[in-house]
């Protein structure tokens, strides 16, 4: 089932296109990572989905509904934390939650406690929100976002500014919510952080969508390998399979073969190939880490 689909979604401020013809699809069960630098258009995109900002052009479809006059009903199935959580500094966690429970017409009074338990904020007592740590503020924002039992959760940079412990806490919370059958769209400017929770990604740069890929595709793109230039690729392949016992390789040209799983032991590969009479012209490790891969993508996009 498609939860969100956008088609050529565009928003312009003055002469600048904050979001430029972005088309993407989020399916039920996804933790969908929206990755981009600060100012890339992530927040504007999320604000249009939640109707905090109106698009200039393009189409939004939510839960199969695309009629603009009917989208508000579909938006009632969304919970969101966009930019800073909209909470009251002089109220406690319980009081903030009660305010939003009443505002939203939620009659189940036990729902407040359930949400606070989910985010680990049941023991804050009379401590006011303005005295919360940044991580606690983010968790309370999440509690408010899930108060109405949403099917779709939109989170804008939920780990931004947090220390390592806070990042892990929010990451685990997001994973836990996904296990509760909530589809999640989460943004970040750190690909390596999103890669620890998302299963799909859209990379946005200067308002434009430049790449979409699954987690499996991302890992394949960043897979490390030994690139070996040899005089006889076919003979080298025989050595890999019969002597080194691996079939995890691929031929990339007439004289280059890439071997996976041996990038930490190039000496062993060199020895076995040489003993079999395969002449080696060069051997090196290739492949990007996540941040290098991301930097290449947005660098190429800005040329």
Give pLDDT tens digits for 108-139: 999 999 999 999 999 999 999 999 999 999 99
Residues 32 and 17 in one domain: yes
Is 297 part of any domain?
no
Q: Which of these three, 164, 187, 220, is where a domain ends?
A: 220
In a domain, 93, yes or no: yes
The answer to whether position 299 is within a domain reads: no
Sheet with 208-214: list strands edge to edge. 78-81, 152-156, 183-188, 31-35, 200-205, 208-214
Residues 22 and 170 in one domain: yes
CB 252 within 8 A of CB 287: no
In a domain, 245, yes or no: yes
> Do residues 236 and 198 share a domain?
no
* Same domain membership, residue 266 and residue 170: no
Same domain, 128 and 196: yes
User: For 142-169, what is each residue's pLDDT tens digit?
Assistant: 999 999 999 999 999 999 888 899 899 9
Looking at the structure, do residues 107 and 129 belong to the same domain, yes or no?
A: yes
CA–CA separation, 103 and 106 (whole Å) = 8
Give the phi and the psi of residue 175 in degrees, each rounded to 5: -60, -40
Residues of the domain holding 37:
2-220
Q: What percent of the chain stands above pLDDT 90? A: 80
Same domain, 103 and 231: no
DSSP 235-275: HHHHHHHHTS----EEE-SSSEEEESS-TT-HHHHHHHHHH
Domain-embedded: residue 298? no
CATH number at residue 32: 3.40.50.300
Same domain, residue pair 150 and 168 = yes
Which phi-psi region, left, alpha or beta, contains residue 188 (left: φ > 0; alpha: ψ -120 to 50)?
Answer: beta
Mapped onto helix, strand or coil, the DSSP state of residue 225 is strand
CATH number at residue 258: 3.30.70.980
Residue 244 within a domain = yes
Listed residue (228, 273, 275) closest to 253, CA to CA: 228
Residues 59 and 16 in one domain: yes
Distance CA 137, CA 150 (A): 20
Closest CA to 141 of 164, 109, 174: 174
Contact criterion met (CB below 8 Å) for 52 and 82: yes
In a domain, 295, yes or no: no
Q: Which of 255, 228, 222, 231 is nearest to 244 (CA)?
A: 228
Sign of the torsion angle spanned by Cα atoms 25, 214, 19, 159? positive
pLDDT in tens, 245-285: 999 998 989 999 999 888 778 899 999 999 999 999 999 98
Query: Are residues 260 and 209 part of one domain?
Result: no
What pTM does this model have?
A: 0.83
User: Is residue 286 helix, strand or coil?
Assistant: strand
Q: Are residues 140 and 276 in the same domain?
A: no
Number of domains present in the structure of the chain: 2
Strand partners, 128: 92
pLDDT tens track for 64-105: 999 988 899 999 999 999 987 889 999 999 999 999 999 999
The residue count of the chain comes to: 303
> Could you tell me if residue 296 is inside a domain?
no
């Amino acid at each position: 089932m498609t939860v969100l689909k956008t088609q050529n979604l565009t928003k312009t401020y003055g002469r600048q296109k904050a979001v430029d013809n972005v088309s993407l699809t989020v399916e039920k069960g996804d933790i969908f990572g929206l990755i981009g630098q600060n100012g890339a258009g992530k927040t504007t995109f999320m604000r249009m989905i939640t109707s905090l900002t109106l698009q200039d052009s393009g189409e939004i479809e939510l839960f199969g509904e695309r009629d603009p006059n009917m989208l508000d009903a579909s938006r009632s199935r969304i919970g969101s934390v966009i930019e800073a959580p909209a909470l009251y500094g002089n109220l406690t966690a319980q009081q903030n939650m009660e305010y939003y429970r009443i505002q939203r017409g939620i009659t189940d009074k036990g729902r407040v406690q359930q949400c606070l338990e989910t985010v680990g904020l049941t023991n804050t007592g009379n401590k006011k929100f303005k005295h919360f740590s940044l991580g606690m503020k983010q968790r309370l924002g999440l509690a408010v976002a899930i108060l109405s039992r949403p099917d779709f959760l939109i989170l804008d940079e939920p780990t931004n500014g947090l220390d390592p412990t806070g990042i892990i806490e929010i990451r685990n919370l997001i994973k836990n919510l996904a296990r509760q059958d909530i589809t999640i769209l989460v943004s970040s400017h750190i690909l390596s952080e999103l890669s620890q929770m998302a299963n799909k990604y859209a990379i946005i740069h200067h308002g434009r969508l430049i790449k979409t890929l699954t987690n499996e595709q991302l890992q394949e793109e960043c897979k490390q390998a030994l690139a070996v230039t040899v005089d006889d690729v076919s003979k080298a392949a025989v050595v890999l399979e019969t002597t080194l016992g691996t079939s995890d390789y691929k031929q990339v040209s007439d004289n280059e073969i890439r071997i996976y799983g041996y990038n930490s032991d190039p000496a062993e590969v060199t020895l076995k190939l040489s003993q079999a009479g395969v002449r080696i012209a060069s051997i090196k490790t290739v492949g990007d880490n996540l941040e290098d891969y991301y930097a290449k993508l947005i660098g190429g996009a800005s040329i």
